[in-house]
Amino acid sequence: MDILNKVRNYREEENQLKWEGTFEEFLAIVKERPEVAQTAHARVYSMIKNAGLNEQENKKQFTFFQNEIFGLEESLERLVEEYFHPAARRLDVRKRILLLMGPVSGGKSTIVTLLKRGFEQYSRTDEGAVYAIKGCPMHEDPLHLIPQHLREDFYDEYGIRIEGSLSPLNSMRLEKEYGGRVEDVIVERIFFSEDKRVGIGTFTPSDPKSQDIADLTGSIDFSTIAEYGSESDPRAYRFDGELNKANRGMMEFQEMLKLDEKFLWHLLSLTQEGNFKAGRFALISADELIVAHTNETEYRSFIANKKNEALHSRIIVMPIPYNLKVSQEERIYEKMIRESDMTHVHIAPHALRAAAIFSVLTRLEIPKKTGIDLVKKMRLYDGENVEGFNDIDVEELKKESQNEGMNGIDPRYVINRISSAIIRKEIPSINALDVLRSLKEGLDQHASISDEDKEKYLNYIAIARKEYDEIAKKEVQKAFVYSYEESAITLMNNYLDNVEAFCNKNKMRDPLTGEEMNPDEKLMRSIEEQIGISENAKKAFREEILIRLSAYARKGKRFEYNSHERLREAIQKKLFADLKDVVKITTSAKTPDEAHLKKVNEVVARLIDEHGYNSTSANELLKYVGSLLNR
Ligand X SMILES: Nc1ncnc2c1ncn2[C@@H]1O[C@H](COP(=O)(O)OP(=O)(O)O)[C@@H](O)[C@H]1O
Q: Which stretch binds Mg ion (CB under 5 A): 53-61, 108-116, 434-442, 604-612?
A: 108-116
Checking 389-394 for CB contacts under 8 A at 24+ apart, the result is 393/369
The rounded distance, in Å, linking the Cα atoms of 319 and 102 is 6
Phi, psi at 230, each rounded to 5°: -155, 150
Return the number of the residue (109 or 601) whose C-beta is nearest Mg ion: 109
Q: Does 104 bind ligand X (CB under 6 A)?
A: yes
Q: What is the dihedral of CA 7, 11, 17, 18, to 10 degrees?
A: 160
Longest dimension (CA), the chain: 122
Which one of Mg ion, ligand X, none is in contact with 297 (Cβ closer than 5 to 8 A by kind)? none
Distance of alpha carbon 49 from the chain centroid: 18
Of 115 and 169, CB closest to Mg ion: 115
Residue 68: count of CB within 10 angstroms of its CB: 15
Which does residue 508 bind out of Mg ion, ligand X, none, counting CB within 5 to 8 angstroms by kind? none
Residue closer to Mg ion by CB (options 106, 164) is: 106
Tell me whether residue 54 or residue 109 sits nearer to Mg ion (CB atom): 109
- Residue 290 C-beta: closest distance to ligand X, Å: 16
Total residues interacting with ligand X, rule: CB under 6 A: 18
Return the one option of ligand X, Mg ion, none that residue 580 interacts with (CB less than 5 to 8 A, by type). none
**In this chain, which of 42, 44, 72, 355 binds ligand X, going by CB under 6 A?**
72
Which of 540, 512, 538, 510 lies closest to 526 in space, CA to CA?
Answer: 538
Kindly state whether residue 420 participates in binding Mg ion, applying the rule CB under 5 A. Answer: no
What is the enclosing helix (H) or strand (E) of 136?
Answer: none
Q: How far is CA 282 from CA 137, 171, 180, 458, 571, in A?
A: 17, 12, 20, 61, 84
Minimum distance of ligand X from residue 325's CB (angstroms): 9
The yes or no reply on residue 630 touching Mg ion (CB under 5 A) is no
Comparing CB distances to ligand X, the nearer of 168 and 411 is 411
- Among 391, 366, 371, CA closest to 381: 391
Min dist CB 355 to ligand X, Å, is: 13
Q: Whole-angstrom Cα distance, residue 389 to residue 482?
A: 33
Q: Is 336 in the site for ligand X (CB under 6 A)?
A: yes
Q: Please tell me the distance from the alpha carbon of residue 142 to that of residue 133, in angstroms, as a whole number.
A: 5
* Nearest position to Mg ion, beta carbon: 109
* CA–CA gap between residue 430 and residue 444 (Å, rounded): 21
Does 412 sit near ligand X (CB under 6 A)?
Answer: yes
For 187, phi and psi rounded to 5 degrees?
A: -115, 145
Contact characters 362-401, ligand X, x per CB under 6 A: ----------------------------------------
Give yes or no for residue 496 binding ligand X (CB under 6 A): no
Compare residues 115 and 133 and give the one whose CB is closer to ligand X: 115
Q: Which does residue 412 touch among ligand X, Mg ion, none (CB within 5 to 8 A, set by kind)?
A: ligand X
Does residue 230 bind Mg ion (CB under 5 A)? no
Is residue 241 part of the contact set for ligand X (CB under 6 A)?
no
3-state secondary structure of 69: coil
Which of 480, 465, 391 lies closest to 431 in space, CA to CA? 465
CA atoms within 13 A on the CB side of 488: 21
109 makes contact with Mg ion (CB under 5 A): yes
Q: Are 621 and 431 in contact (CB under 8 A)?
A: yes
Candidate residues 168, 249, 367, 411; the one interacting with ligand X per rule CB under 6 A: 411
Binding ligand X (rule: CB under 6 A), the pick from 42, 69, 284, 622 is: 69
| Nearer to Mg ion among residue 103 and residue 164 (C-beta) | 103
- Quote the least distance from Cβ 412 to Mg ion, whole Å: 10
Residue 332 touches ligand X, criterion: CB under 6 A: yes
70 binds, among ligand X, Mg ion, none (CB under 5 to 8 A by kind): ligand X
Helix (H) or strand (E) holding 320: none
Contact 242, 286 (CB under 8 A): no
- For position 519 contacting ligand X by CB under 6 A, the verdict is no
Query: Does residue 301 interact with Mg ion by CB under 5 A?
Result: no
Only segment of 23-31, 70-78, 144-152, 232-240 that touches ligand X (CB under 6 A): 70-78
Residue 282, Ramachandran bin (φ over 0: left; ψ between -120 and 50: alpha; else beta): beta
Burial of 308 (0-12, 13-18, 19+ CB in 10 A): middle
Q: Which is nearer to ligand X, 332 or 625 (CB)?
A: 332
- Nearest-approach distance from CB 331 to ligand X, in angstroms: 7
* Contact yes or no for 279/237 (Cβ under 8 A): yes
Question: Quick one: 219 or 254, whose CB is closer to ligand X?
Answer: 254
The closest alpha carbon to 384, from 327, 346, 319, 453, belongs to 327
Which residues contribute to the site for ligand X (CB under 6 A)? 69-72, 102, 104-110, 323, 332, 335-336, 411-412
> Which parts of this chain interact with Mg ion (CB under 5 A)?
109
